[in-house]
Structure 1
Amino acid sequence: MRRDMIEFERVLSYFDEDGDGKISLTELRSRMAKISGEFELKEAEIAIESLDSDGDGLLSLEDLIKLIESACEEEKLKDLKEAFEMYDNEGRGFITPKSLKRMLKKLGDSSKSIEECKLMIGRFDLNGDGLLSFEEFRIMMT
């Protein structure tokens, strides 16, 4: 059994207070309140409604895995946006050869020329505009 699956099952067992293998609205609210303070009924209802894959009003292990993986993807996307913004130090929505050179210098690599930065960007510049958009940056980083 994969290590991830064991961890997912542990999370399920933490939320599954009655041991039936599923997370009810009450169990979700109770455990979330312990983790992060008050968890409104409406929030719990929305969570179950959006994640419940079989329509039984309960979250299964598979539903929980989707929730956790979705949260991890959101965190990764947030981190990528923060990294992109460091390179897009002009706030223009893309990385230029000049902004790449500036960031590389901050990171301790002052040897790159503008031409080398253009080449670096060119490897991932999908639309050929000489700039690196967030989407191109995301593809490069994955």
Structure 2
Amino acid sequence: MTTAPDTLTAQNRVAAQRIRIVQAQGTVEVHNGEQLIARSSAALELHERGHDVRYYLPRDDVDLTALRAIDTTSHCPFKGDASDYWTLAGDESGTPVAWSYPDPIDASAPIAGHLGFYDTLTITASAPADGAAAAAVLA
């Protein structure tokens, strides 16, 4: 019988093989049409095998007044439980546009306190003007 700590350790080993988190270089912006939802020079890039790169922006760099919290959850075996979800403020359909992992598993710990965004919003990343060095690997 596998104990919970053994399961978590195995989960972190698998996650570490599938996911790589690096500091994004330059500035990442998230827009809904012309409305700026978020802008950050401290975003993280999450590279997950078989998926497009996702940017996670610090909560402090997100205009939370442009979003409305909704009651949705999901689980990823490589990141943990996403229990914070948002839709656009004023969107009565409740379609999620952002999420976060308040307490991710250890292998994905750097994304705690950050929001990811669905591709229904426009997400752009611009290179740093100074030609900064390659990104630092965080996890």
Q: Which of the two has greater helix per residue?
A: 1
Structure 1 length-normalised TM: 0.22
Structure 2 length-normalised TM: 0.22
Higher relative contact order (CA 8 A, sep 6+): 2
Q: Which of the two has greater strand per residue?
A: 2
